[in-house]
Structure 1
Amino acid sequence: MAGLAVLAALAGCTVQTPDGEGKRRLPVHIELPDDTPSPGRTPAGGGDGPRSAPPSGDSKPRSAPTPSRVLWSRGDTGRDVRELQARLRQVAWLFEGPTGTYDEPTQRAVGGFQGKRGLPRTGQTDTVTWQRLLGMTREPGRWDLYLMGGQPADPPDARCRSGRVLCIDKTSRTLRWMIDGRTVSTMAVRFGSQGTPTREGVFSVYWKSRDHVSTLYDSPMPYAMFFSGGQAVHYSADFAARGYAGGSHGCVNVRDEAAIAELFAQVRNGDKVVVSW
């Protein structure tokens, strides 16, 4: 028995003792060693080597974070740049435009926004900067994007297709100067407020006044071309400064002084004026 016990110990066995009835149980329970050391065991190579990490539940390799990439920078143009500028206005980092052109003021505004939030101050709009700005602002509406003009004109009203016409569209907020169906120039315009709306219909220019001042409101109305009572197409310094944030007392405001100066020189008394939605 002693020899059998020694043999069992060497083989990694457990000797079963006789039970209470004196019967001997069959052989021994043999524990076969496996290849994985138990938590308290030292690896076969010794105790100084590094231990391998326990396997993770996710066997897929971990991917590195996506690096930030530049979306827009100085010189870029388009609707996306216009939205960027509109959102920068919402958080008071930009006070010009939107123009749709990534210019120097836009670059400075982006750099300031980045620096304030601990981002690399590059002045370029990358994905990280853009996501941070999106989280702080709302979706701009049409007239947020075109606050200072620049919007495309809708197709002209059918009544504008012949003759010399100031074709004014309230929907797209534009004025087309047309001669015999051809558009000579287009400019952004602003209309009267709800209390003093710009009248709609077909009119004609009956008086031009280069340096006019309103007797009713005591306000300058340069390059005024009157078409319905006291309502006229004229340059507005307020429109140039505030865009569609303001409104007129019924007149059709133009913010581009050079454009209306050229228009004033071409329009004649008697030329048709069409104001429509």
Structure 2
Amino acid sequence: MRKTAAVLVALVAVSACTVRTADGERQSPVHIDVPGRPATTSPADDRPSPARTTRAAVPAVLWSRGDTGRDVRELQARLRQVAWLFDGPTGTYDDLTERAVRGFQGKRGLPQTGRTDTVTWRRLLRMTHEPGKWDLYLMGGQPAGAPDPRCLTGRVLCIDKSSRTLRWMIGGRTVSTMSVRFGSQYTPTREGVFQVYWKSRHHVSTLYDSPMPYAMFFSGGQAVHYSYDFAARGYAGASHGCVNVRDEAAIAALYAQVRNGDKVVVYG
């Protein structure tokens, strides 16, 4: 009886007083185990464990709208392989690329963010193969190689078959560069040094009955000109020997600068 009374007195004393730390925070009172009753627990023991409260890691975003570069080209080339993208590769993560990524994600039960994160990229890698050089530059944009030495003097249309580029050069300085395509195996573009001998802004081929806007003739019926087909299909097609340009604004500016008699160098 005396033991029970002593325990009750101790409990009353503990509940009546609170302990404060040096910074004024209240501390839980000391817990006393009463014989025959379960031990009390601290409120901290009722908190969920860290393992239960940790959120799933969010995958890192690799590329998103506005990004540019070779890696974006590869993303676009791979999206073309699985028929989620039909334009490009352009090397710019635009609205079409964002829409294609969102569609690809939704089809596979991934969050439809339109941004390419590590999970989306790994899934796309498993479904596609490594794109080749011309897969990456199907619509142009590949870097130009070093100009041929014959291009370093005068006013020159310097046309490189190996990099599929045309440089407009004056006095050894590159004024502008644009993507071009050439004739097929059966109608190859001739190589050598030529001169622009005729310009025809609204030319139409009498042989193939096809438009050749901004035509600058340099060898027989072969000319540098804008191509609607190149703009639409890229390197999936070919010319009948002419040098096709797909950027209409670029060739319009070039046409305004080039004169009859300017040199044309075609090599590769």
TM-score of the aligned structures, taking structure 1 as reference length: 0.75
SS in 2 for 1:243: helix
Residue 250 of structure 1 corresponds to: 241
Residue 188 of structure 1 corresponds to: 179
Residue 170 of structure 2 corresponds to: 179
What is the distance in 1 between the residues matched to 2:95 and 2:260?
43
TM-score of the aligned structures, taking structure 2 as reference length: 0.78
What is the distance in 2 between the residues matched to 1:192 and 1:79?
27
SS in 1 for 2:146: coil
Q: Percent identity?
A: 84
Question: Which stretches of structure 1, 4 residues or longer, exceed 2 Å deviation after superposition?
Answer: 64-68
Per-residue Cα deviation, 1:93-124 (whole angstroms, up to 9, x for no partner): 01111111111111110000000111111111
Q: CA deviation at 1:66?
A: 6.5
Amino acid at match of 2:207: L
Q: CA deviation at 1:198?
A: 0.3
Gaps of 5+ in 2: 1-54
Asked whether 1:232 is paired with 2:223, we answer yes
Residue 165 of structure 1 corresponds to: 156
Residue 27 of structure 1 corresponds to: none
Residue 45 of structure 2 corresponds to: none
Residue 131 of structure 1 corresponds to: 122
Asked whether 1:155 is paired with 2:146, we answer yes
Residue 76 of structure 1 corresponds to: 67
Residue 101 of structure 2 corresponds to: 110
Amino acid at match of 1:120: P
Residue 10 of structure 1 corresponds to: none
What is the distance in 1 between the residues matched to 2:168 and 2:211?
23
Please state which structure has a larger fraction of its residues in helix. Answer: 2
Q: CA deviation at 1:70?
A: 1.3
Amino acid at match of 2:173: R
Q: CA deviation at 1:72?
A: 1.0
Amino acid at match of 1:107: E
Larger Rg: 1
Asked whether 1:88 is paired with 2:79, we answer yes
Asked whether 1:273 is paired with 2:261, we answer no
Gaps of 5+ in 1: 1-63
